[in-house]
Amino acid sequence: MPWRSSTNDCQVCETFATDDISRRCPIEKEAGIWFDGCRRRYSNRNIFSIVAEAPRVAFFNGMTVSSNLAEQDRFDTYILSIINDTAILVETEAARAKKFATKEKNISSSQTLYTLVQCASDLSGTDYGLCLRGAIAYIPPGPEGGTSFNPNCIVSYELSPSYNQTAVAALTPSARGLAHENFHSWLFS
């Protein structure tokens, strides 16, 4: 979760994540690692089908849309509205099979906002909203793009595509995820 373009890319990422978390956390009872292409999490307690709101992690670019506070406030409100609309798409029956949704919205004549929200495949439909709202609530005002995630959900928004739009259009429920080429890791234990 999220952003893979092929089954092979996913397998490579999952293998790397499994090896990396085993190397970094050899004696931990609970740990998780996220890469731009996949995630790996383990625990000595049941973690499946349970919404975990912590740890929450957020990465945002340092760019702001405007130094004008009123204009920035309007942008922040608009961004949250679009992100919430995308989260609602995941909660609909049609999107539940995929556990993710993307949305592209023109925010000016020259800018498009690309949003992605995704839930872990083991969550029930009633837990999607709770999980996504927790990730959305962690988005600070100001940045023009970023990613917020917890162990079960991810919310991402950027002014440039951070996912493979062609892969998204072609995905079926058995081919979940989106394409992204970078390996960045975030580790908790």
Classify residue 127: in a domain, yes or no: yes
DSSP string, 112-130: EEEEEEEE-TTS-HHHHHH
Q: What is the pLDDT of residue 180?
A: 37
Two structure tokens written together for 129: 């909203």
Question: Which three-class secondary structure state does DSSP give residue 33?
Answer: strand
Q: What is the pLDDT of residue 93?
A: 61
Q: Which residue has the tokens 């702001």?
A: 64
Q: Which residue has the tokens 């912590």?
A: 54
8 Å CB contact between 163 and 144: no
Distance of CA 22 to the CA centre of its chain: 23
Two structure tokens written together for 126: 């009633």
Question: Which three-class secondary structure state does DSSP give residue 116?
Answer: strand
Classify residue 2: in a domain, yes or no: no
Q: What is the pLDDT of residue 164?
A: 56
Segments forming the whole domain that contains residue 25:
7-188
Q: What is the pTM of this model?
A: 0.74
Classify residue 100: in a domain, yes or no: yes
Cα distance between residue 136 and residue 128, in whole Å: 12
Mean pLDDT by 10 residues, the chain (189 residues): 62 87 89 79 88 83 76 86 87 70 87 88 82 87 86 88 55 36 44
CATH number of the CATH domain containing 22: 3.30.430.20
Q: What is the pLDDT of residue 159?
A: 87
Quote the number of domains for the chain: 1
Q: What is the pLDDT of residue 138?
A: 87
Classify residue 1: in a domain, yes or no: no
Classify residue 157: in a domain, yes or no: yes
